[in-house]
Structure 1
């Protein structure tokens, strides 16, 4: 859209932007992160803040669980309680239906051609999809936010109080699910899906409310689940959590930054996307490698369970398409699902040999994604 202003209006607009820019320079930006300070996501956010301080005249103060909860963050950014923050779109299925469509396809990252770090591929695919999806960007605009990329967790495993290796073992098991395709996966194999907030997993496992939770192995230490989940079944259900806006900005704050400041933010966002994704992957990898040290027994799924999971993911595409079309009004869902699938395969190739190299991953995220977000124009058309 092109808007034409008179000379006076342009001058006034320039003065207003200059004033806001000066305010942003003088103040420390408030970043809201709804996880604790021991979480690897917090460490990546703190590293992002250090990068911004070292490379610009801005500072970022990270508020860990003390400013806004994960559910409060989108509204808090919109209303100016936080200047930027970690937005979890999955908590808001209607507000972010276009973005959540892509996030609900995360099992594509762990089926078909398997890669060592599926989260790295999914984070790239998710970010590229959203940046090329006007409907997705409009959702963030409507919420007063500027989108700056997505992060992905490590693959989901079954963290259980008893061993689960085959399809028969799942029948009747009480499995905590975050909803959507994970609920359908559990019920497809005869398990009983139980809805619990992530913060209630520990209590649910310890009290026998659930037998298993579907979560990345990083939660064995990030959420201390190793204390109550003695067994971890690898590679199922698979998928990652990628329904995020890693460092979404309040629109007015973003527009008030100078072009140079926005350029540094984009560099920092690319760096944080790699660091945060690899941080989650590495904690999971350490927990798997050192399972004995934390009192966890690893369980390998049978080939039958793996093959049945792959078949479920392919069949579930039609369910996701119908759900997002009928319940959330997403148009052209078939084409959008095909695009996400193609992007996941593209990013499996792009990250195949570098996925555990933070500098290399940062560079590919920068070259393929963030360098294409012009700091002189990206996010400035949003009101």
Structure 2
């Protein structure tokens, strides 16, 4: 189904039926999200924090109503739904849209990379402030990014212990996105494409031996019930989500409200990183206790030794070529993504 056509042709009608905001003059803006309200993780908790802060900082003049759990648009429908005006705010899982958002997927081409959650978010903020190509890419789709939600720093959660790169040889590791398939191959393992929702069963049934993930997400998906070894291999934080707005909704705001939204995006990143750190620490204590997950330090030098692999470099060069074609100083940008 062509969701772009569907949303653009029915967006106004659907917005009217649901009572959704289609004008920046409205007092109540609508946030459409795939996150369940009761998820209790850092993403859901800080989304509510942002909504509460928006009402507080506008002195109650404006509010945001959240439509949780894909009730208005599913995960892969959100960009088109936002663009069509079905909602005003939403969170977009950026790696799901590599063709529509190649510049904004920069970090996904560079794994491993040395930055953590907060650093990746600040890196994306700087890119948007410095190079118009990043905003223009989204503006062409009637979208505006006012904030960023990177994922946590990743390691590998495995069903067997892994102490060195030799232990990875022949293992089957869940793979997705741009860089992971080639990195997994360079480490001597076999990449297996499996959806996040299917990874629990895949680990349980030994279809895969490991999956890239961070502790907080591993607990959230309960993968740590069936995989008891967390390999602390320094993959860096993956870039996850854009906090986005319908561009028309943003442009329709008065200057004061725009400034509040933009500052909230920056403050959100700091709050989200703080809550995520607390969540990781909590999970670490659970792992030491009844969950019984063993954390194994992986030698960083063994990981870095494979970065020059031809496959890994080809993936990185793919983004560099796209960035150069867009008129960006690619070498300057990617210097932040290298050890």
- Decide whether the 8 Å contact of 1:187 with 1:193 is kept in 2: yes
Matched position secondary structure for 2:49:
helix
Which of 208, 211, 216 aligns to 1:210? It is 208
What CA deviation, in whole Å up to 9, does each residue of 1:59-116 have, x standing for no partner? 1112222222221111111011221111122111111111212443363225xxxxxx
Q: What's the TM-score, normalizing by structure 2?
A: 0.84
The unaligned stretches of length 5 or more in structure 1 are 1-20, 111-117, 346-383
Unaligned runs of 5+ in 2: 1-20
Q: Higher strand fraction: Structure 1 or Structure 2? A: 2
Note the C-alpha offset of 1:302: 4.3
Shift of 1:283: 1.5
Distance 1:216 1:138 in 2: 32
Match of 1:339 among 320, 333, 336: 333
Q: Which residue, 210, 232, 235 being the options, matches 1:238?
A: 235
The residue aligned with 1:63 is 67
Secondary structure class of the residue paired with 1:149: strand
* Residues matched between the structures, number: 313
Residue number in structure 1 paired with 2:296:
300
Distance 1:285 1:177, change over 3 A: farther
* Alignment match, 2:165: 167
Listed as ranges, the matches of 1:29-68 within 5 Å are 29-37=29-37, 38=39, 39-56=41-58, 57-65=61-69, 66-68=71-73
The one of 75, 86, 91 aligned to 1:86 = 91
How far is the alpha carbon of 1:136 from its aligned partner?
A: 1.5
Q: Is the 8 A contact 2:29 2:64 kept in 1?
A: yes
SS in structure 2 at match of 1:162:
coil
Summarize deviations over 1:175-223 as a string: whole Å, max 9, x none: 1122321221111111111111222221221222211110111122221
* 1:172-183 mapped onto 2 (5 Å cutoff): 172-183=170-181
Alignment TM-score, normalising by the size of structure 1: 0.75
Rate the CA distance shift 1:137–1:129 in 2: closer, same or farther, 3 A: same
Match of 1:158, SS?
strand
Alignment CA distance shift 1:237-1:283 (3 Å): same
